[in-house]
A and B are shown apart, each in its own frame.
Chain A
Amino acid sequence: DQQVKQNSPSLSVQEGRISILNCDYTNSMFDYFLWYKKYPAEGPTFLISISSIKDKNEDGRFTVFLNKSAKHLSLHIVPSQPGDSAVYFCAASARQTGANNLFFGTGTRLTVIP
């Protein structure tokens, strides 16, 4: 049972435009969300996170938005650059349960076209 879902397996965007990657979750106990970026044959690298007490977190070109009522979060990359081409994973954690395990989505492959 996939508790974190990324329904778009791939996304193509022109360089300089906005990339929007989406993620949905089903477990209402999730209260901390993370985005990771992964290149082929490498480990994922942490990008940005957001706590459920916030609805937006920004770090440079990356912004994560959280809509708790819809159980939905999104990652915005503006402007998109060719080096952003990678697989992006959404992950969630239920800190309030005392656990720090992460539940990952299946990933979205972003291709930024020069």
Chain B
Amino acid sequence: DGGITQSPKYLFRKEGQNVTLSCEQNLNHDAMYWYRQDPGQGLRLIYYSQIVNDFQKGDIAEGYSVSREKKESFPLTVTSAQKNPTAFYLCASSIGLAGGSYEQYFGPGTRLTVT
């Protein structure tokens, strides 16, 4: 059963703590992405990775970090430097440029609440 998994579904943290959100895919996709969604707003790109061991900043990368050590995994760390970390975080993947496909497939999301 192929897809993208994100865990946990809900996450609560105290202000000042770093937190890592998990994203795993078994679709054999090259490209992976992290977005955040806030109420009344669209999806904003945080980081993306076209290939293992390479990643690029998106529009709102400040206060976040990522790694791409394995093709199937793209964890996102929300650091204490992120001023407004409470949001719904979405991970996505796509075949990538080599496959000529531009559809991105999304995981179920993680709602992070920082108090």
A residues with a Cβ closer than 8 A to B are 2, 4, 6, 9, 32, 34, 36, 41-46, 49, 89, 93, 95, 98, 100-102, 104-107
Minimum CB–CB distance from B10 to chain A (whole Å) comes to 9
Using known A-B contacts A43-B106, A44-B106, A93-B102, determine if residue A101 contacts B42 with beta carbons closer than 8 Å.
no
B residues with a Cβ closer than 8 A to A are 4, 6, 9, 31, 33, 35, 40-45, 48, 50, 58, 88, 90, 92, 94, 96-97, 102-109, 111
Q: How far is the CA of A45 from the CA of B105 in the complex (A)?
A: 7
Q: Quick check: A104 and B42 within 8 Å, CB to CB?
A: yes
Minimum CB–CB distance from A37 to chain B (whole Å) comes to 11
**Can you report 28 residue pairs joining A to B where beta carbons are below 8 Å apart?**
A4-B42, A34-B103, A36-B106, A41-B9, A41-B109, A41-B111, A42-B108, A43-B4, A43-B90, A43-B92, A43-B106, A43-B107, A43-B108, A44-B90, A44-B106, A46-B103, A46-B105, A49-B102, A49-B103, A89-B43, A100-B31, A100-B50, A101-B33, A101-B58, A102-B102, A104-B35, A104-B42, A104-B43
Minimum CB–CB distance from A59 to chain B (whole Å) comes to 13
A101 / chain B contacts, CB cutoff of 8 Å: 33, 45, 48, 58
Minimum CB–CB distance from B86 to chain A (whole Å) comes to 15
A49 / chain B contacts, CB cutoff of 8 Å: 102-103
Using known A-B contacts A41-B111, A100-B96, determine if residue A106 contacts B105 with beta carbons closer than 8 Å.
no
Q: How far is the CA of A41 from the CA of B112 in the complex (A)?
A: 12
Q: How far is the CA of A8 from the CA of B41 in the complex (A)?
A: 12
Main secondary structure of the interface of B (DSSP, over half): strand
Main secondary structure of the interface of A (DSSP, over half): loop
Which of B48, B103, B111 has the most chain A CB atoms closer than 10 A to its own CB? B103
Q: Quick check: B41 and A32 within 8 Å, CB to CB?
A: no
B4 / chain A contacts, CB cutoff of 8 Å: 43
Which of the residues A9, A100, A104 comes within 8 Å of B40, measured between beta carbons? A9
